[in-house]
């Protein structure tokens, strides 16, 4: 998971660095190019490609276009916020119809896990934990999106990127701690 989080930051880091040194157009174009390279890298090195990744790359291109057109970096900086909200809406839709997406995606997740851990995804108790964690995760993702949106509108690009990068592991930790507390009481 840490690898995937790190990889998802590459386009945003490219944007922030080149935006600072070369201006908005270079920053946005570098973020777009980096997102395509990340997608190709995920497919080539991890044998992992899905439509979620494609949608996020297309969203980055669309918002990048609006940022360049309006000469306002805010559109590009809102991509992670919009991606988070879309993800939560999709997760909530499946949770509402009692068909948790996390269980439907277990086949894709198997490709990312070491072979000795693949059988864990078939365990009913592990599946119940994953479903609960998805519910908790949706709340924390929305909170992260709200904080990130505020940072995108009110803070520098550096602060925005730090919040994006540092809050993800924090929220993941909070989700795991929440599940641990629920399991204990």
pTM for the full predicted model: 0.78
Q: How many domains does the chain have?
A: 1
Domain that holds residue 123: 2-184
Whole-number Cα distances in Å, 145 to 81, 101, 150: 5, 20, 9
pLDDT score for 145: 93
- What three-state secondary structure class fits 100? coil
pLDDT in tens, 94-144: 888 777 766 667 666 666 677 777 777 777 777 777 777 788 888 888 998
pLDDT in tens, 18-64: 999 999 999 999 999 998 998 888 888 877 776 777 888 899 899 99
């Amino acid at each position: 998971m840490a690898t995937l989080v790190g990889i998802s930051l590459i386009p945003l880091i490219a944007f922030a660095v080149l935006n600072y040194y070369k201006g908005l157009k270079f920053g946005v174009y570098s973020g777009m190019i980096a997102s395509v390279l990340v997608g190709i890298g995920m497919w080539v090195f991890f044998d992992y490609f899905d439509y979620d990744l494609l949608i996020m790359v297309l969203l980055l291109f669309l918002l990048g276009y609006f940022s360049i057109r309006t000469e306002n970096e805010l559109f590009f900086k809102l991509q992670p916020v919009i991606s988070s909200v879309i993800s939560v809406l999709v997760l909530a839709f499946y949770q509402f119809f009692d068909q948790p997406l996390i269980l439907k995606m277990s086949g894709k997740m198997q490709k990312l896990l070491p072979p000795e851990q693949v059988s864990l995804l078939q365990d009913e108790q592990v599946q119940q934990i994953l479903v609960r964690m998805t519910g908790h995760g949706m709340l924390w993702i929305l909170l992260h999106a709200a904080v990130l949106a505020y940072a995108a509108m009110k803070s520098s690009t550096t602060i925005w990127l730090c919040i994006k990068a540092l809050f993800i592991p924090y929220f993941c930790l909070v989700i795991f701690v929440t599940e641990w507390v629920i399991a204990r009481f």
